[in-house]
Chains A and B, each alone.
Chain A
Amino acid sequence: MREPERPSSPVALHKQLSAIWGTAPGLGRLSAVNHTVVGRRFIVTAIAFFGFGGLLAMVIRAQLATPAGAFLGPGVYSQVFTVHGTVMMFLFAIPMLEGWAMYLLPKMLGARDMAFPRLSAYGYWCYLFGGSLIVLSLAFGVAPDGGWFMYTPLTSQPYSPGINADIWLLGITFVEISAISAAVEILVTVLKLRSPGMALHRMPIFGWYMLVTAGMILVGFPPLILGSILLEVERAFGWPFFDPERGGHPLLWQHLFWIFGHPEVYIIFIPAAGLLSTMIPVLSRHPLVGYAWVVGSLVALGFLSFGLWVHHMFTVGIPLVSLGYFSAASMLVTVPQAVQIFSWLSTMGSGRPRLDTPMLYILGFFFVFIVGGLTGIMVASVPFDWQAHDSHFIVAHLHYVLIGGFVFPILAAAYFWLPHFTGRAAIHGLGKTAFWLIFLGMNATFLGMHLTGLRGMPRRVYTYADGYGWTDLNLVSSIGGFVMTMGFAIVAVDLLLQPRLGRRIRRDPWGAETLEWATATPPPSYGLASIPAIESRAPLTGRPDLGARIAAGEGYLGFTRNGWPETIAVDLVSGAPEQVVILPRPTYLPLASAAVTGSFFLATLFKLYWLVPLALAATAAILLAWTRSTGSAKDHGLLAVGHGIELPPHWESDRPPSWYAMAFLLAANAALFGSLVFGHFFLWFVSPGAEADLVPPAGYTLLVLLAGGALLASAAGRIAVGRVRARGRPGPWLLLAVAGHAAAAASGAVLFAVMPDPGAAAIPAVAAALVAYATAHAGVGLLLATYAVRRARMGRVSARRTADLMVPSLWHDYTAATSLFVALVLAGSSAVLVP
């Protein structure tokens, strides 16, 4: 197809692009899907939650400032420290990193938006609604009170009969939708939506950090989501997964929680380290030393961080030989960390660092984080951990790690990129004053806490008696806490004043090398007016006019076409241009979808179970409504992108971004399924009733039908794709896929009904959960297969346009594999595992 006429000037191009990519004012803002807008919203909302969590920390320190504190009673104190931890981990740290990734990544990579802008917006609304539910619960006195790790049996129904624990389980699961959706789209964006020529080894280092982080979220969060579902089902329906009196085990919860919980620390730290690896070379005026080594160590960190989860469970009675592996792995993780730290120090040592405000916070990071890392090595040692476990030593350690590893880097990043957000310079006097208050206050708060811990002060106690040597140290901690808060208050004032009072700055005030500084500041809605070809890791080095040339439309897609928001997708390794991705326009659907999804969680929370199927159906319907504007009703052929290159639109490519998204979503799903299978075998091991007959005689036929139906759907889905590619029409194969899933879903439902009572013991409960999992997947498969039939009938499918069949086909394959596995596990468990 011929290249569209180019606009007459950069201003004309700006106006045309703004009309396509911009968000309407007023209530129209609620329809925003743009990465700059949604990224900023994530960041601002996370700051608000951080402020709330910080206020709770002040309440905690007021209570513990003196012995026999009477500020709070034990019940309220439990709610306060639980919500403090929950807010900081789930509502501040993770969403903050999501916000930074959404704001920066597309601009750094040379894309005009994230791969799935509506998913970004949907994730944001889920985060806001779920987070608000948790925070508001405190106002009503029903906040979670079982600690941020919600250990059973304390959080089981008999010991937490109110809705406090339910609010945590459902609220956090609601929020986690945003984490999983962010992970999927970060992965697809980094792997596919880069500038032409940006091979993986030329990618900005922040892209590598976010790639690893997103991969970790994808595998790390599902075990927690599964654990939350199982605990909620136990609380609501009495299925005893964690109840030892009926064959369950509290340690199953601990395993599921910490398989998430330990990588979570790294999921928080790694993006912050990515910001450091981006800032330090710029502020030191020297390229990052050991880029390739840092990439290698990141991969190591991503994997090793999963091998440490048991170091939170050293005291629960796991055999010593097993503890040895996890102690070794816990110490080993310092090696890739050290590679990064020495890379940063070498970069600073090789360059000419300037002691500006961001660098001050970076130096604060070095001091605080390294102290946290060293105490981490101490608690990685089993004998030491036995002494320090559940004491204030651990509180000190985790705050040094998290404040050092996340808060200081984020503050450095805030001062570094604030000019990009606002187009104005920060008021550095305030930032420096705030640094010293935060740095000194932080150390005053937590340094002495190591000692109170070593002197035996346990965590989570609401008061203590005088005479143990804890009194003075606690008073110092409380004073330090308030000093630190003053520092954060000054940062807040600075952030509020800067957009009005800061002096205007030129583009790229730091002399940075990455593409985000090639945009105007503050950035326009479309980010880059045209997409540059990339030949090195530092595209701005030696090309000071690149920003102006991009704005003049000299790169790819320096024009508009059909009112489409367009960007380029590349080969995931080499960066060769591959397809034109046409992104969605602003829409209220993400907001409406999050509200409808929220109705499911609220119905479950308030035990309105009759409403749950309706809420689920409404959620499915509204999510399917997203597809009304996707794809095309006709073939377009190749589209010109400039410089003589022509590419197909994404709906006519072999692997559109949605295919990768489904593949990554299924990877997360597989992590959840793997956790459930782990739970099954774990309980078989520890349960005294493990030899119970799980499948009644008639059930074996139903198992065969369940797996057989899913296999049929998988085969039919694949044949349909091949047939459409060869002949343009799917023939009867799509209907066969529908029939296969229908048979599987019906067989699963009947099997579920005839299985032994899942409330009687843990093993039947987990077996029923496996059948429910397979049945639910067949149900979703039925929906997707029906959707494919509808799309084919609407003319949205052709020999070139097969995405509407390929993406559901992945689901069919996954469902077939897991259904077969469920059938084999249930049929074979007795034979293999019963002594």
Chain B
Amino acid sequence: MTLRSFPTLLLAGFVVWSSSLVVLYALSSLGCARGWPDDTLAGLDLLTAVLGAAWVAHVALFLPIGIALARLRRRWTRSEFASVAMANALALAATIWTGLPVLAGLSCA
């Protein structure tokens, strides 16, 4: 993988974050409209279970990004690597932080 992957990797983390926000918002709207909080799955209410699964899946997508970054660490200059690492670290933090309300037990009211 060469410098050509620089733009892709620079954007990759925040593409995952964007997807996580859209998916969580869409599933919340759908779940609240369909009464998912009244059903249960694996001991959780259905809405929390589905949202939690979607959230964890998005966080897991940072694993391949991290592996790709680790491989590139020595091939790129410090400056190139720092920009990409910074953007992806922020994106990972953002994906975790933005999804935290899933755990807060907020209602559909």
Residues of A at the B interface (CB closer than 8 Å) are 199-201, 291-293, 295-297, 299-300, 302-304, 306-307, 310, 319-325, 327-329, 332, 335-336, 572-574, 685, 835
Contact = CB atoms under 8 A, between A and B. Distances in A.
10 contacts: A200-B80, A319-B32, A320-B107, A321-B107, A322-B29, A328-B97, A328-B98, A332-B97, A335-B90, A573-B6
A303 B17 contact: yes
Interface string B4-32: 10110011001101100100110011101
Given A310-B25, A319-B106, A332-B93, 10 more contacts: A199-B3, A292-B86, A296-B82, A304-B17, A307-B18, A321-B32, A321-B47, A321-B101, A325-B21, A335-B93
A322 B26 CA distance: 9
B108 A319 contact: yes
Contacts of A328: 97-98, 100-101
Given A303-B14, A325-B25, A292 B79 contact: yes
A307 B21 contact: yes
B28 A299 contact: no
A810 to B, nearest CB: 19
B21 A299 contact: no
B75 to A, nearest CB: 13
A310 B94 CA distance: 17
Contacts of A300: 14, 87, 90-91, 94
A574 to B, nearest CB: 6
Q: Which 5 A-B residue pairings sit nearest by Cβ, starting from the closest?
A: A324-B101, A296-B86, A292-B82, A303-B14, A296-B87
Given A299-B10, A321-B28, A325-B101, A201 B108 contact: no
A304 B94 contact: yes
B87 A685 contact: no
Given A201-B83, A296-B90, A319 B14 contact: no
B28 to A, nearest CB: 5
Interface string B67-93: 000000000011111111111011101
B87 to A, nearest CB: 4
A322 B87 CA distance: 25
B109 A320 contact: yes
A694 to B, nearest CB: 21
A339 to B, nearest CB: 8
Nearest to B15: A303
B90 A322 contact: no
Interface in B30-80: 30, 32-34, 47, 51, 77-80
B1 interface: no
B80 A297 contact: no
Contacts of B107: 319-321
A335 B14 CA distance: 14
A320 B83 contact: no
Contacts of A572: 7
Nearest to A303: B14
Contacts of B78: 292
B86 A293 contact: yes
A292 B83 contact: yes
B57 to A, nearest CB: 16
Q: Which of A299, A685, A835 has the most CB of B within 10 A?
A: A299
A249 B100 CA distance: 30
Nearest to A685: B33
Contact of B94 (A293, A322, A329, A574): A329
Contact of A296 (B7, B83, B106): B83
A332 B95 CA distance: 10
B87 A319 contact: no
Given A299-B14, A319-B28, A324 B106 contact: yes
Contacts of A297: 86-87, 90
A395 B55 CA distance: 36
Most B-side CB within 10 Å, residue of A306, A321, A322: A321
Contacts of B94: 300, 304, 329, 332
A320 B28 CA distance: 10
A29 to B, nearest CB: 39
A299 B29 contact: no
Nearest to B101: A324
Contacts of A200: 6-7, 80
A320 B7 CA distance: 36
B29 A685 contact: yes
Nearest to A202: B79
Contacts of A325: 21, 24-25, 28, 98-99, 101
Nearest to A296: B86
Contacts of B86: 292-293, 295-297
B108 A321 contact: yes
A40 to B, nearest CB: 32
A336 B90 contact: yes
